[in-house]
Amino acid sequence: MNYENLLITTENNIATITINRPTKLNALNVATISDLNKAFKTLGKNDEIRAIILTGSGEKAFVAGADISEFAHFSIEEGTQLAAEGQEKLFDFIENLKTPVIAAVNGFALGGGLELAMACHFRVASENAKMGLPEVSLGVIPGYGGTQRLPQLIGKGRAMEMIMTAGMVTAQDAYRTGLVNHVVPEAELLDYCISVANKIIKNSPYAIGKAIKAVNANFKEGKNGYEAEIKAFGKCFGTEDFKEGTTAFLEKRKAVFTGK
């Protein structure tokens, strides 16, 4: 499938999605959000794809924000719909995808760009990366989950300060606060993400999908994370992956998982 604003490559069970709007610093417009939704849906249904890396084209930006020109004239109703549709189609969709998604933050990740990175299951940043939620400087607030996911990742106080000052943090600051898991030289970013993905894909895809669901349950209204974990744990016992994993352990060999 061809996408107007994305480049997609697959190799050794790992897919890499590159947002390709370099002249706009990969800013998220409606068309790009739609492309990303279709790409993640397609890859998420492909059992051969065990991990997905998301990054931006060029050396300046992961995603420098949302495309402000698209919504500067919106009404209250239109603004509400923009946030609701975007969260459902992309940000919540990525967070709940059973396939692990790693954000390779290769430059500016601002506004919707940082929100996109935070929707991924974890983040790796290049040394030149800078992150922030500058929405209040435009008279609006983060609308793609930023007010919810940032406090979950770095704590309420730090999140409040980042949102209210509209300031940017460096990759090292992001690492120190837990916003990103690793910081690496820019030239090594994708290779490092691939090395982490290779560790992931050695494990049971079924179990990883259930682990993602159980972890996310703790942050959902009305959900009991412990109960979700118990149910997911139990379901693993009925899978081929569980039989293979335990048998391989007892036979002192490496397991070969199918995701079933």
Contacts from 253-256 at CB under 8 Å and sequence distance 24+?
254/202, 255/204
Strand partners, 51: 14
The pair of structure tokens assigned to 139 is: 């008279």
Cα 45 to its chain centre, rounded Å, is 17
Between CA 180 and CA 29 the distance in angstroms is 25
- Which is the catalytic residue, given 85, 135, 186, 229? 135
- Is 188 noted as a catalytic residue in this protein? no
**Could you tell me which residues come within 8 angstroms of residue 162 by beta carbon, excluding any fewer than 6 positions away?**
132, 133, 150, 154, 169
State the SS3 of 172-183: HHHHHHCCCCEE
Between CA 6 and CA 2 the distance in angstroms is 8
- Is 135 noted as a catalytic residue in this protein? yes
- Which is the catalytic residue, given 59, 115, 221, 251? 115
Angle between helices 205-217 and 240-250 (to 10 degrees): 110
Between CA 159 and CA 190 the distance in angstroms is 28
Active site amino acids: 115, 135
